[in-house]
Structure 1
Amino acid sequence: MNAVQRNGQAQDLGLLFLRVTGGLFLLFVHGLPKLLDFTAQLQLIEDPFHLGTHLTLILAIFAEVLCPLLIVAGLLVRLACLPILFVLLVALLLVHPQWSVAEGQFGWLLLILFTTVLIAGPGRLALNARLPGVLRYV
C-alpha cells in the first residue's frame, strides 16, 4: 500500500469518526432529551418564527434526532447536515444573540463540525457510497 492509499484510508476513517461522534453527541445531548420528554420541552423551547411550540419542537427533533441518525449511518449526509446547521444558526443568532462566544461555544463547535461534514462529505465508509448517481454526493 502506498502513501496515497494510506492517506485516503486515513481521511475516510477521520470522516467516519467525525460523523459518528458528532452525530451521536448531538443525538444524545440535544435530540433524545427533546424526544423523550416532549411535553416538558414544549414549555422550554423558543419559537422565533412563531410557528407554534409544537411544530417548532417537532422540527427541532427532526434536526436533532433523524438527521444525526442519517449522518451516523452515512446516508444522505450532506442533505442531513442542512437542518442541523439551520437549527444551530437560529439558536445562536436569533434565540441567544446575547451569548458570548464562550457561552455559545458548544453550538459554535457543532456548527464547525457539521459544516466540515457538509463540505467534506461522508467519505467512502458510508452508505452514501452505495447509492446510485447524484444521491451518492448529497
Structure 2
Amino acid sequence: MQASGGDERARDLGLLFLRVSAGLFLLWVHGLPKLLDYNAELQRIEDPFGLGANLTLMLAIFAEVLCPLLIVAGVLVRLACLPILAVLLVALRVVHPQWSLAEGQFAWLLLILFGAIFIAGPGSLALNHRFTGALRHV
C-alpha cells in the first residue's frame, strides 16, 4: 500500500522533530558541558579502555557535539548515530554496569531515540536528501 502525500509529509516532519530535538538535547545536556568545561571534565571522565583521559574525552566530545550537529543538519545521519550509540552502550554496559533501569533511564532513553533515528533515517527534510548515490542513505 502506498502512503499518501500527507502521510509522507507527516512522517518527514516527525523525523525532523526527532532528529532536531534528540540532537539538541544530547548536545545541550552532555556535549556542550564537556566542551566548555574541558579541564574539569578531564578530571571526572572515566577511561574504561585505558586510552587516557584526554583521548577518551575527545572521543566523547566528538560523539556528543559533532555527531548531534550532523544529525540536526541531516548530514550523514545514520553514520553520525553510530558513535553516539557506542558511547551510550559503553556508559551503560562498561562504565556503569551497576545502574538499575531507573538509574540509567536517561541513557536508555537516548539509546532509544538515536536507535530510532539510525533505523528510520533522516527523512526527506534533511540535507542528505540533496545528495546522490550512497551518501543519500547514510
TM-score for the superposition, normalised by structure 2: 0.98
In the alignment, is residue 114 of structure 1 matched against residue 114 of structure 2?
yes
Q: Distance in 2 between matches of 1:4 and 1:110?
A: 31
Q: Which runs of 4+ in 1 moved over 4 A?
A: none
- Runs of 5+ unmatched residues, structure 2: none
Q: Distance in 1 between matches of 2:4 and 2:106?
A: 34
In the alignment, is residue 88 of structure 1 matched against residue 64 of structure 2?
no
In the alignment, is residue 97 of structure 1 matched against residue 97 of structure 2?
yes
Deviations 1:33-64 (A, max 9, x none): 00000000001100000000000000000000
Structure-1 residue corresponding to 2:55: 55
Q: Distance in 2 between matches of 1:4 and 1:102?
A: 40
Q: Distance in 2 between matches of 1:108 and 1:60?
A: 17
Secondary structure class of the residue paired with 2:4: helix
In the alignment, is residue 8 of structure 1 matched against residue 15 of structure 2?
no
Q: How many residues align?
A: 136
Q: Distance in 2 between matches of 1:112 and 1:104?
A: 12
Q: Distance in 1 between matches of 2:106 and 2:136?
A: 30
**Alignment-mate amino acid for residue 94 of structure 1:** V
Shift of 1:126: 0.1
Secondary structure class of the residue paired with 1:103: coil
Secondary structure class of the residue paired with 1:114: helix
Structure-2 residue corresponding to 1:20: 20
Structure-2 residue corresponding to 1:75: 75
Q: Distance in 2 between matches of 1:40 and 1:108?
A: 25
Shift of 1:132: 1.5
Structure-1 residue corresponding to 2:40: 40
**Alignment-mate amino acid for residue 83 of structure 1:** P
Structure-1 residue corresponding to 2:136: 136
Q: Distance in 2 between matches of 1:111 and 1:89?
A: 8
- Runs of 5+ unmatched residues, structure 1: none
